[in-house]
């Protein structure tokens, strides 16, 4: 999303946010929407089966150069989201983004500045940004 799109989206959220003007309401809805994203992923595994999760220890060696780590790390995912599951996950992510943006509005924070600040930090710190 380019900055203009983020600004437009943030204004749309502001215009549409009627029921949840309390920071407590928005915070709880943001947390709930995050849970729904996770639930949609779980259902893609357990009900649909379009993706599988096979977790295991990441194969990092003590002497491994940082550049090599990104090529050996695994996502633990097998398969791809089917169209149906992808639609659901995207919809839930959209709701999550809505409530994140609503929180930004209540705190008088510009979403595009948050994205830009995080991008700058990633550019500056690179892999050392990992927390």
Domain range list for the chain: 22-126
Q: Which residues contact 80 (CB under 8 A, 6 or more apart)?
A: 50, 51
CA–CA distance, 40 with 36 (Å, rounded to integer): 6
Q: What is the pLDDT of residue 101?
A: 96
Q: What is the pLDDT of residues 39-68, one digit of tens each?
A: 999 999 999 999 999 988 887 777 777 667
Mean pLDDT for all residues in the chain: 88
Q: What is the pLDDT of residue 2?
A: 57
CA geometry: angle 117, 120, 124, nearest 5 deg: 140
CA–CA distance, 115 with 118 (Å, rounded to integer): 5
Q: What is the pLDDT of residue 57?
A: 82
Q: Indicate the pTM of the whole model.
A: 0.83
Average pLDDT of the segment spanning 85-92: 98
Q: Judge whether residue 30 has pLDDT over 80.
A: yes
């Amino acid at each position: 999303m380019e900055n203009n799109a983020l600004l437009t989206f943030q204004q749309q959220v502001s215009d549409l946010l009627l029921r949840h003007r309390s920071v407590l309401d928005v915070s709880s809805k943001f947390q709930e929407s995050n849970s729904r994203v996770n639930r949609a992923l779980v259902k893609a595994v357990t009900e649909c089966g379009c993706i599988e999760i096979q977790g295991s220890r990441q194969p990092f060696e003590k002497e491994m150069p940082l550049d090599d780590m990104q090529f050996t790390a695994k996502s633990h995912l097998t398969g791809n989201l089917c169209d149906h599951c992808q639609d659901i996950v995207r919809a839930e992510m959209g709701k999550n983004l809505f409530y994140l943006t609503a929180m930004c509005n209540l705190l008088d924070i510009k979403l595009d500045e948050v994205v830009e600040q995080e991008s700058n930090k990633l550019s500056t710190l690179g892999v050392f940004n990992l927390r």
